[in-house]
Amino acid sequence: GAGVSQSPSNKVTEKGKDVELRCDPISGHTALYWYRQSLGQGLEFLIYFQGNSAPDKSGLPSDRFSAERTGGSVSTLTIQRTQQEDSAVYLCASSLFAGPGYGYTFGSGTRLTVV
């Protein structure tokens, strides 16, 4: 596609429910990243996929968070048993490759609110 597409754009969920956030990267981009941004804060790295390599999960805050990337394209971030501190904007980005020299293209994000 022309850009990175994320859905839904907004999600309100009750505490304890599971949520799935979707990211459709730019076609042909091999690297895909998930970050989250709390209100007025910086970007916190969550997880990164590069081609068929094992993902770098070092930023996932707890075992309630998981992500997969199917067929080297679409990615889904799943948060189980959501907590209020999970409320944030979840940003997905892709780049042509993972190495230096490649800037990220971000999607518009999913604003998650846990009530």
Partner 1 sequence: GQQVMQIPQYQHVQEGEDFTTYCNSSTTLSNIQWYKQRPGGHPVFLIQLVKSGEVKKQKRLTFQFGEAKKNSSLHITATQTTDVGTYFCAGRNTGTASKLTFGTGTRLQVTL
Closest Cα to residue 18, out of 77, 59, 89? 77
Q: Which is nearer to partner 1, 66 or 106 (CB)?
A: 106
Closest distance between partner 1 and the C-beta of residue 115, in Å? 21
Distance, in Å, from the CA atom of 3 to the CA atom of 15, rounded to the nearest integer, reads 32
DSSP-H helix ranges across 3-109: none
Least Å from the CB of residue 18 to partner 1: 25
- Compare residues 73 and 108 and give the one whose CB is closer to partner 1: 108
What minimum distance in Å lies between the beta carbon of 45 and partner 1? 5
* 2/14 with CB nearer partner 1: 2
Cα distance between residue 82 and residue 28, in whole Å:
32
Q: Tell which residue, 4, 15, 16, 9, has the closest CA to residue 104.
A: 4
Please give the residue ranges that form the binding site for partner 1 (CB under 8 A).
33, 35, 41-43, 45, 48, 50, 56, 59, 91, 98-101, 103-109
Find the shortest distance in angstroms from Cβ 59 to partner 1: 8
Kindly report the backbone phi and psi dihedral angles of residue 22, in degrees, each rounded to the nearest multiple of 5, phi listed first. -115, 145
